[in-house]
Structure 1
Amino acid sequence: MTTRRRPPLLFLPLVIAVLQVFGTHVASLRQGADFTVPALLLLLAGPAFLVLRRRAPGLTVAGCAAMTLAYVAAGFPNGPFAVSLAIGLVLALVSRARWWAWGSAAAFAAGILGISLWRGESQYFGLLWLVVLLLGGELARAGRLRRVERRRAAAEQLKHQADQERLAIARDIHDVVAHSLSMINVQASVALHLAQKDPDSAKLLEALSNIKDGSAQSLADVRQVLSVLRQDAPRIPSQRLEQIPELLSGLTGLQTHYSPPDKEPDWVDEKVENTIYRVVQESLTNVVRHAQASQIEVAVQLTETKAQVSVTDNGIGLGDAEEGNGLRGLRERVQSLGGTVSLDTSDLPGSTPGARITALIPAPPAHQEKS
């Protein structure tokens, strides 16, 4: 992001000084008045205070007001002698030196009224000009505040999007790596058992083949997720419902049963399918790692109003285990679609209670109204 380059600090004071001196000198010639050295010094003193505008905008506007008032009090020729005061007022208002600006303007107005009463002259036009200038400065200040607020809101939105993107990538990597490593660990345990106890080389080769296929798929999934960081792949991975049987086939030593949906409503898009797939994947990972189960049932139901997926096992149950990153990420996935995740006791046959994870994703409100 490139930053706008500021003009040199002395540029504005020099321009204002030339404008005030030259303009007032020309005006004095037309008025037939003398343009004296004290008048010149006061015309240069106001712009000189503008050098402090970035560090001390309040002091700047106070100094400009004092020099301008002194010029008027001395009775020097009329002309553009108040340009430095006008610039100082606007800069002070925009630079959050609001009370300095209004205080200096009030003091200047009081001084002008005093001079007018003393000389018996009317300076109401100058006071009206001062009010208009203050209102213009307030409008400029309000516009600046709106721009700052818009930039702040845009920066917060970008940060929020970046945070959500990091969370999504972290969930994808966790789901892929945790599931694949769990499956590889199971297959490696089977292969080690066969190598030590069972002379059947066919079963050993099958286990080794499963390890090879699982690791290859894991690498492919990790590459797909990491490619998002290089911005050369879509954000949503391509896991679909038809890949769930393949997911279950990698579970060696477990009885599995899958109940697929009867139909797929129009509102079930790739994001919903990917979320259902990840729910099943994370649930299977937890079963393999912790449940000590022998049976697993996966059921997916899709209707015009909701999508429901449940993974049930006959393992050791929920126990007192704390919720880990996997289940937390699973909840975040489902909640991002307006859904909920619940855990309860399994009703599969067995001597242990088992566990069931159920995710419910509602259809979008517009589709439900249409139904």
Structure 2
Amino acid sequence: MDKHQSLITWYVLFAITQATALVLILIDNNTLADRVLAAGLLCLNGLWFLFYGRKLVRRGKDDWQGFVYAAGSLATFAPAVWFSGSATFALFGLVPQLYMVLPVAWAFFPMAVFVFTPQILTWAAGAVPALPWPGALLIIGFSQAFGWAISRIAQQNEQRGELLQRIEALTLEAERARWAAEIHDTLAQGYTSIITLLQGAEPNVSLALQTARENLREARALVASNAPSPLDGSSLEDALRRLVSGVSLPSSFRVIGNAVPLATSVEVVLLRTAQEALHNVARHSGASRVDVVMRFDSDDVSLEVRDDGRGFGDAPEGFGLRGMRARLEQVGGTLSLSSDEGASVLVEVPL
């Protein structure tokens, strides 16, 4: 239940108790004048809550203004009880309000005054209180325990709301990071390849068109939140083979071991890793050749992209490598980099 629904519940409780008290006042045995005065005062009590107390409850802060509300409420409740003892029933709605506008420790004192008011007024009028004094003390103890429970529930609701807000913020941040990685791994890389190919010479135009078509399918897949388009209707091995054949330098792809079915999430990670690694080879390595090997072992599946270029050197990891690591963490995989006689990107994912 959110805060708004919780407040509506308390408003309904207050309205019911006030209406019941009014009915009891109007049907009791007092004179007509006493009944009218008591009912009018109780209506003023309701207006005091409507125009001042409700603002404090909605604000949710416990401070000195709660005492102002308690004093105004008592100023209308006490004379209503004087004219008609049936107005005492309104306590069932008034006491919880005190704990909603004051801290639990502070609310105890005005709560005790409210509970003892009918007793004191009856005693002052020379009559025997309908509720024995021990009974009044019992009500005070119960009210304090009830007020503590109200306070705890309010705190828990507030903490739950803050937690939900943090979860929503983290989810949004993770979704933004996912989209950033998807766009970097697909559209940005593809369009970079198009520019590079078109700058080369006319024979590369057909390959540029093929790359553009692949990226268009990627864009549609991203919008639909489907698996990467190279995997649509084909195996991971076929998708990797097409990916490797599309690079602009001599390349090879082979599979070692007996292929086993992989989870879609693992296939996506391996495919995106290969895309990023091949993109880096073509753009940064200065290599003359690149080879991709996928190996199936008994405990894991690995994918290595190796080239004969200049290696990684001392350059810091860019967005692409950080994106690789983030993706691999989601499936429990690891990333290893080496620069022996070129560069090697090795990823391993447990089966």
* TM superposition score category, shorter chain reference: 0.7 to 0.9
Report the CA distance shift for 1:11/1:314 in structure 2 as closer, same or farther (over 3 A). Answer: closer
Letter in 2 for 1:244: L
Give the TM-score normalised by structure 2. 0.77
State yes or no: 1:86 paired with 2:92: yes
Structure 2 unaligned spans of 5+: 58-65
Report the CA distance shift for 1:179/1:227 in structure 2 as closer, same or farther (over 3 A). Answer: same
Give the TM-score normalised by structure 1. 0.73
Report the CA distance shift for 1:247/1:12 in structure 2 as closer, same or farther (over 3 A). Answer: closer
Name the one with the larger helix percent: 2
Using the TM superposition, give the Cα deviation of residue 13 of structure 1 relative to its aligned residue in structure 2, in angstroms.
Answer: 7.9
Distance 1:180 1:110 in 2: 80
Letter in 2 for 1:343: L
State yes or no: 1:284 paired with 2:278: yes
Using the TM superposition, give the Cα deviation of residue 283 of structure 1 relative to its aligned residue in structure 2, in angstroms.
Answer: 0.5
Letter in 2 for 1:333: R
Matches within 5 A, 1:333-344: 333-344=327-338
State yes or no: 1:167 paired with 2:177: yes
Distance 1:48 1:187 in 2: 77
Is the Cα–Cα contact under 8 Å of residues 17 and 92 in structure 2 kept in the other structure? no
Report the CA distance shift for 1:238/1:110 in structure 2 as closer, same or farther (over 3 A). Answer: farther
Structure 1 unaligned spans of 5+: 193-203, 229-233, 348-353, 364-371
State yes or no: 1:295 paired with 2:301: no
Report the CA distance shift for 1:332/1:104 in structure 2 as closer, same or farther (over 3 A). Answer: same
Distance 2:340 2:295 in 1: 18
Greater alpha carbon shift after TM alignment, 142-151 vs 170-179: 142-151
Letter in 1 for 2:173: D
Q: Pick one of 357, 361, 369 that aligns with 2:349.
A: 361
Greater alpha carbon shift after TM alignment, 329-338 vs 149-158: 149-158
Q: Pick one of 96, 103, 111 that aligns with 2:109.
A: 103
Report the CA distance shift for 1:18/1:157 in structure 2 as closer, same or farther (over 3 A). Answer: closer
Q: 2:21 is matched with which residue?
A: 20
* Other structure's SS at 2:49 match: helix
Using the TM superposition, give the Cα deviation of residue 116 of structure 1 relative to its aligned residue in structure 2, in angstroms.
Answer: 8.7
Using the TM superposition, give the Cα deviation of residue 285 of structure 1 relative to its aligned residue in structure 2, in angstroms.
Answer: 0.5
Q: 1:350 is matched with which residue?
A: none
Is the Cα–Cα contact under 8 Å of residues 39 and 80 in structure 2 kept in the other structure? no
Matches within 5 A, 1:292-331: 292-331=286-325
Distance 2:15 2:339 in 1: 82
* Other structure's SS at 1:79 match: helix
Report the CA distance shift for 1:307/1:142 in structure 2 as closer, same or farther (over 3 A). Answer: same
Using the TM superposition, give the Cα deviation of residue 299 of structure 1 relative to its aligned residue in structure 2, in angstroms.
Answer: 1.8
Report the CA distance shift for 1:241/1:214 in structure 2 as closer, same or farther (over 3 A). Answer: same
Report the CA distance shift for 1:271/1:261 in structure 2 as closer, same or farther (over 3 A). Answer: farther
- Please report the RMSD computed on the Cα atoms of aligned residues, expressed in angstroms: 3.6
Q: Pick one of 230, 241, 256 that aligns with 2:251.
A: 256
Greater alpha carbon shift after TM alignment, 255-264 vs 34-43: 34-43
Q: Pick one of 130, 136, 143 that aligns with 1:126.
A: 136
* Other structure's SS at 1:341 match: strand
Aligned residues, how many? 328
* Other structure's SS at 1:309 match: strand
